[in-house]
Structure 1
Amino acid sequence: MALFGRSKKSVAVKPAEPEVKQLAPAPAPGPHGARTVEDQRDWICSMIEPLMPFGMNLLDASGLNLCEDLLADGDLPALPEAACEGYAVISVDVRDVDPKAGVVLTITSDVHEEASAVPVLVGHPMPPGADAVVPLDAADVIDGENLLVRCSVEAGANVRQVGSDVADGSVIAKAGTTLDPRLLGLIGGAGFDKVLCRPRPRVVVLALHEKGRLSQAFEVTAQQHRDAASFMVASAARDAGAQVWREESVAQDAAAVAEAVTDQLIRADLLITLGGIEQGADGLLAEALTGLGPVDFSAIALRPGPVMGFGLIGADHVPVLMLGSDPASAYTGYEAFGRPAIAALMGTDHERAATQVRLDAPVSGESGVCEYIPAQVMSTPDGLHALPLTGRPGSLGPVAHCDGFLVLGEGSASAQAGDLIDFVAFGDR
């Protein structure tokens, strides 16, 4: 009989066929023939699954969101401790002190009898028997051995009681809480060295260049655009909490583009390509991705950045977001779709809160199109005011120097000075 009942005969195992994953039904175009920003964003995020959480060291978890309620399994502090530097005392000795005469205590190493005081530092465990701390500025040392206390001190004064920071069994932090340094300090103090979090999404920003497509005269400008767009998007993705790689590829045919893309899939939870989408579904990028997975190209009611693509490629169905190489278009596309995609991977809310601001100058756009207009915001006695930053359409300078975008929605073609308008701050200034 075979060991553990296993058959000695070799059994041919048919390799599993790779799962074929399709895109969700695409949103219908709006009344002007292009998909709305909101519909496209929600459609993309619906196909991105949050990363699997795991136990993570506290330092690695900074800035991430907790994936479970964290319950204390002990009190913090575990023992009463001094809340200030001074002298631990028995409160009955200093409860009713005449400020003019004071009370003299003996400085000792232990509170072993009445009328004694023990020097303590902040956070020092209280000596057994002591129940209050006399602050340094409320007493004077006499002859190095005695302490003149000049004010009354009640029981419990300047003492951190057991469980005053965290009580045993209480919730230290709820699921969904962002772990900042102060909260991590509390968690570490409560005895935890790991927390359950989703990892930082691995994002690859790949700038594509079609060799020979442009004349030499325009090549320098094109390289400047690629550098500006890729550094801007990669930095923004890192600011959103992702682990980021920035890459460039020079290719002259679809096979070379496909190789450049597939080379990055092994380390990507999200791939953002810049360039190669000018011709949409008829372009080189679309041809390169044929056979790698389902892709979709569409006009979007967004300015700047009217065309984009999305797909799920490779055996692991890695989401790929395809944006233009123009810096302003690339960044608005990232803000509208890339940052929400990263948030979806992290399992967090992808909405940036909009604030109402008052315009200091008029703005105009195209009817039926959502305009992202760079602006600087100033706080004034009568509220927040926004100054739109002007420049040619798609200019890099206004985007580089703005505090965020004014959002002129699809239903508004213009807004006048003095009007209230939605403003979305980037949060990095």
Structure 2
Amino acid sequence: MISVDEHRSAVTELVGTRPAVELPLADCAGLVLAKDVHAGVSLPPFDNSAMDGYAVRSVDVAHASEDEPAELPVSEDIPAGRTDIPTLLPGTAHRIMTGAPMPEGADTVVIVERTDGGTDTVRIFTDAAPGAHVRRTGEDVAVGTVALKAGTVLGPAQLGLASAVGLDRLTVHAPPRVLVVSTGTELVLPPRKLRHGQIYESNSVMLVAALRALGCEVESVRSVADDVDTFRATIEPRLEGVDLVVTSGGVSAGAYEVVKDALTGAGITFTKVAMQPGGPQGCGRWNGVPVVTLPGNPVSVLVSFEAFLRPAILSSLGHTGVDRRHVRARLLETLESPKGKRQFRRGYYTHSEGQVTGVVGPRGGPGSHLLAAFTQANCLIVLGEDVTEAPEGSEVDVLLL
């Protein structure tokens, strides 16, 4: 047996780091920036009005009030987008809209609500300090500075900023193309009617969803029969177009372990990991393509994904935070765990205001077939290899999902 940490390191090293590619902004959502973005323009690129109102000289409205308004001729209209901006002459006002460039000669904006809204002549009922309601050039981003750092996860705001500084493409870590393969002669695809001894295939559905949520491009081959020749003939021709293969089932110690039988000696190392559920694991390269083999029970698949694949893929995509959030919580009931194995139990965590630590209770038993219990869980309770019993009221590690 090897430890959970040893196998995680092996999978992470196998998956490696994805190469940098340049993609259109629309295709970069959720990906990680591979190199710094320098601003080609300042933001704002020019002094502009933050409000609809009137661009004036502050000295011309210094004594304006409700009782004695300043009255100024309106010599120009400046809508947003106007590029030929005339200079403001002393003793005049330019009607200006939000985002429009400030004219030379003006040093402040009086909002329209503090005027009578005049178009030929405006009455202004308030004074205005220099710089009021003016957005200064570069106050958000200065030209030439780093607008986005490498390693940034690209969400809506980050992509908007990239466009705002003049880019339509970004260099990101390329999402991997993943082939998901589920094996088992007993597996049937819904909605086909089950015969006695058959079950519906679900592992590929879970893995495809989980991988796509990380930004991977995924295709799947479902329910490959437990026959070595069939497995090889089905999967080997597909290796050329993918960066990673993830299999489920066929890796344990039974008589019909198709993945293990087909790939032993082909570059894949199969092992037992000191964990429950999910002990049988494997990884390596088949014809040069990284392959990660998972056990077949649904809960084992999800736990294995959380323990090994998720952090490895996030790391390959340039993420720096690859672990789920860990907290300590007080157990609501006693749990038992096999000695020498790290146990992952589905749980439900809550933390009320005023509590020093949250509380957590299990959802379902430890069985790796109890998938419904996973749908009711929001965490994994992690019991260490040296723990055989965690009493009610004791504190345990919790991995928040």
Question: TM-score with structure 1 length normalisation?
Answer: 0.82
1:108, 1:357 → 2: CA distance? 69
> Aligned-pair distance for 1:178?
0.9
SS in 2 for 1:335: helix
Superposed, 1:82-101 pairs within 5 Å as 82-101=49-68
Q: Give the one of 199, 204, 207 matched to 1:233.
A: 207
Gapped runs of 5+ residues in structure 2?
78-86, 188-193
C-alpha deviations, 1:339-366, integer Å up to 9, x for none?
1231233133433331223333333322
| One-letter amino acid of the structure 2 residue matched with residue 115 of structure 1 | G
| One-letter amino acid of the structure 1 residue matched with residue 125 of structure 2 | R
2:278, 2:328 → 1: CA distance? 24
SS in 2 for 1:259: helix
Q: Give the one of 87, 100, 111 matched to 1:135.
A: 111
C-alpha deviations, 1:213-268, integer Å up to 9, x for none?
xx94221x2x2xx22x2211211111122112232143352111012221331332
RMSD of equivalent CA atoms: 2.4
CA contact (8 A) 1:94 1:154 kept: no
> Aligned-pair distance for 1:48?
2.6
Q: Give the one of 113, 128, 134 matched to 1:159.
A: 134
Question: Kindly tell me: are residues 37 and 113 of structure 1, through their superposed partners in 2, closer, same or farther at Cα, counting changes over 3 Å?
Answer: same
Q: What count of residue pairs does the alignment treat as equivalent?
A: 383
CA contact (8 A) 1:89 1:133 kept: yes
The answer as to 2:333 corresponding to 1:361 is yes
> Aligned-pair distance for 1:42?
0.8
SS in 1 for 2:15: coil
CA contact (8 A) 2:249 2:257 kept: no
SS in 2 for 1:217: coil
CA contact (8 A) 2:226 2:257 kept: no
Question: Kindly tell me: are residues 95 and 183 of structure 1, through their superposed partners in 2, closer, same or farther at Cα, counting changes over 3 Å?
Answer: farther
Q: Give the one of 35, 38, 44 matched to 1:68.
A: 35
Identity level (%):
30
1:76, 1:195 → 2: CA distance? 19
Superposed, 1:381-392 pairs within 5 Å as 381=353, 382=355, 383-391=357-365
Q: Give the one of 297, 304, 316 matched to 1:345.
A: 316
The answer as to 2:155 corresponding to 1:199 is no
| One-letter amino acid of the structure 2 residue matched with residue 116 of structure 1 | T
CA contact (8 A) 1:280 1:297 kept: no
SS in 1 for 2:209: helix
CA contact (8 A) 1:310 1:322 kept: yes
Q: Give the one of 73, 83, 90 matched to 1:114.
A: 90
| One-letter amino acid of the structure 2 residue matched with residue 151 of structure 1 | T
> Aligned-pair distance for 1:163?
0.9
> Aligned-pair distance for 1:172?
0.6
Q: Which moved more, 1:81-90 or 1:104-113?
A: 104-113
SS in 2 for 1:357: strand
Question: TM-score with structure 2 length normalisation?
Answer: 0.88
1:148, 1:43 → 2: CA distance? 75
What residue number does 1:283 align with? 257
Q: Give the one of 98, 102, 105 matched to 2:72.
A: 105
Gapped runs of 5+ residues in structure 1?
1-33
2:210, 2:66 → 1: CA distance? 61
What residue number does 1:7 align with? none
2:163, 2:24 → 1: CA distance? 10
